[in-house]
Amino acid sequence: MKRTVLLNPGPVNVTERVRQALLKPDLCHREKEFSDLMQSIRSKLVRAFGIQNDYDAVLTTGSGTAALEMAVCSCLSEGETMLVIRNGVYGERISAMAEAYGFNTQCLDTPWGEPPVLSNIEQVLKQNPKIEVVALVHHETTTGLLNPVHEIGELVRKYKKRFLVDSISGLAGDALDFNRAGVDFCVGTANKCLQGLPGVSFVLARKTEMARLNKIPEPSHYFNLYKNHQAQEKGDTLFTPAVQIHYALDAALDELLEETVTGRINRYRQASAMLRKGFREMGLEFIVSETHLSNTLTALKLPEDVTYQGLHDRLKGQGFVIYAGQKKLSESIFRIANMGDITTEEFQRLLDTLKNCLSASTPS
Ligand SMILES: Cc1ncc(COP(=O)(O)O)c(C=O)c1O
């Protein structure tokens, strides 16, 4: 079958080893074999990030948003406020979720593509003692901006708040020092930089937070972080999990442990550096200052006379899938991610093909 190179920020191209893992034997999730598989995944996750002493992985079936909802709806004590730092679609999603649960929510906005100003965050934390949880997106996939998670985390700790980080597109792509950032709840998914398949996501939760979560009235029956954690600690699941996707995640985590998180981050950094050099040589314009860019996604302005759909279709004809801008950026940008199992040769072919497509669409 012809290979399509996925340059969207997940689901990503996976290795043959991960794909083949889907074909393991049919399995009942109430049997010991599934319990062992789940515990293997939970243990590999915390070991890969070197956080096994202080954090537990809590899995849920569903895309990244499922685990995000599990963290958001379970972490706020009654009557307290969640501060959401927003500079893109995914920060906006966190506040929309918190509001849907009827939580007191305060938002601190900076324009899309710009990092938040630390002194503004400090001012809000000083002014509002009701803030209990601060939520931030690590890598804002809307624009490719890497938020200053460590600096913000230090402020969150200074004011003794809890820190919830959506690192769905950040984990294993860009560095996250859990201790320095003082992360309490970190949300991730199988099918981006972890290089598994879509259908399982997780929260890496600070163990000492569980006693507090137990006191919060049940937020959601399905997405109860505390109860899911309780069940998983006993080797059980509350509901029917996506069994085959767990097999694939387990294989993907073996690959991550072999490559190491640092190794993977370096590979992605090198790939993005190569792509960005090519983009610059083509005269393409970045929408985020290069100093704030993640290792895994570049958002580029569409050149005049080039439509997203036209460019997408021409590239797809050559075996490459690119990604559109979201909401107010949908007409003006395109995005190229470099997550997943993609070779240097494929990135070079993408650059050559993109150059041809752009020169064919620019009137001479
Ligand atoms: C930062 C971030 N948060 C949340 C999500 C939502 O994840 P999913 O589409 O897997 O539900 C994404 C998806 O790209 C993301 O990049």
| Mutation test residue for ligand 1: of 84, 87, 90, 223, the one with most atoms within 8 Å of CB | 90
Cα of 281 from ligand 1 centre, angstroms? 31
| Mutation test residue for ligand 1: of 69, 145, 169, the one with most atoms within 8 Å of CB | 169
Mean pLDDT of 166-190: 98
pLDDT of residue 360: 83
| Closest atom of ligand 1 relative to the 88 alpha carbon | 1
Q: Which superfamily does CATH assign the domain made up of 261-361 to?
A: Aspartate Aminotransferase, domain 1 (3.90.1150.10)
- Between 360 and 81, where is the model more confident? 81
Bridge partners for 323 per DSSP: 335
pLDDT of residue 122: 98
pLDDT category of residue 114 using cuts at 50, 70 and 90: very high
Domain boundaries, the chain: 17-258, 261-361
Kindly tell me if the per-residue pLDDT of 364 is higher than 60. no
Cα of 141 from ligand 1 centre, angstroms? 8
Supply the angle between the helices 225-233 and 64-74 in degrees, to the nearest 10.
Answer: 110
Encoded amino acid at 95, one letter? S
Kindly tell me if the per-residue pLDDT of 238 is higher than 60. yes
Residue 40 CA to residue 32 CA, distance in Å, equals 12
Encode pLDDT of 256-300 as tens digits: 999 999 999 999 999 999 999 999 999 999 999 999 999 999 999
Burial of 76 (0-12, 13-18, 19+ CB in 10 A): buried
Encode pLDDT of 17-65 as tens digits: 999 999 999 999 999 999 999 999 999 999 999 999 999 999 999 999 9
| Closest atom of ligand 1 relative to the 169 alpha carbon | 16
pLDDT of residue 362: 61
pLDDT of residue 328: 95
The answer to whether residues 248 and 14 touch, using CB atoms and an 8 Å cutoff, is: yes
Encode pLDDT of 305-333 as tens digits: 999 999 999 999 999 999 999 999 999 99
Cα of 280 from ligand 1 centre, angstroms? 28
Tokens of 340: 């997943």
pLDDT of residue 154: 98
Kindly tell me if the per-residue pLDDT of 137 is higher than 60. yes
| Closest atom of ligand 1 relative to the 189 alpha carbon | 10
The CATH fold of domain 17-258:
Aspartate Aminotransferase; domain 2 (3.40.640)
Encode pLDDT of 253-262 as tens digits: 999 999 999 9
Its pTM stands at 0.98
pLDDT of residue 361: 72
Mean pLDDT of 184-204: 98
Cα of 83 from ligand 1 centre, angstroms? 19
pLDDT of residue 363: 56
Residue 20 CA to residue 254 CA, distance in Å, equals 14
pLDDT of residue 100: 98
Cα of 169 from ligand 1 centre, angstroms? 7
Q: What is the mean pLDDT of the chain?
A: 97
Closest CA to 203 of 244, 159, 162: 162
- Between 327 and 363, where is the model more confident? 327
Residue 10 CA to residue 104 CA, distance in Å, equals 32
